[in-house]
Amino acid sequence: MLSCGSLCACEILENIHITQSTLSYHMKMLTESGLVEAVKDGSWMRYSVNTSMTDKFIEYINGIVTESEDCICHMPTKRKELSK
């Protein structure tokens, strides 16, 4: 949704049908994590994606889910433990 650009909380609420307090809570978590940026616009907040942080997040997730030589599943002693 935020890939289209900055959105007012009221616009988000119109599209996902949750309460304002629920949206506020979740957007607070996303802004504190750095994935979303928030700017006060009168009595509302405008939210946008922090692309530099989302790129880092995607890179981190890819590192977790992509198999590599140093993956724990390739270590002989760990493989035995994992199969128990």
Tens of pLDDT along the chain (84 residues) come to 777 788 998 898 998 989 999 999 999 999 999 999 999 988 888 999 998 888 888 888 888 888 777 776 766 665 555 555
CA atoms within 13 A of residue 11's CA, in its CB half-sphere:
12
pLDDT at residue 83 in the model: 57
No. of helices (H) and no. of strands (E), the chain: 4, 3
Q: Report if pTM > 0.85.
A: no
pLDDT at residue 74 in the model: 67
Assign residue 45 the CATH number of its domain: 1.10.10.10
How many structural domains comprise the chain?
1
* Residues of the domain holding 43: 2-83
CA dist., res. 65 & res. 40, Å (int): 36
CA dist., res. 38 & res. 45, Å (int): 6
pLDDT at residue 30 in the model: 94
Q: What is the DSSP letter of 66?
A: S
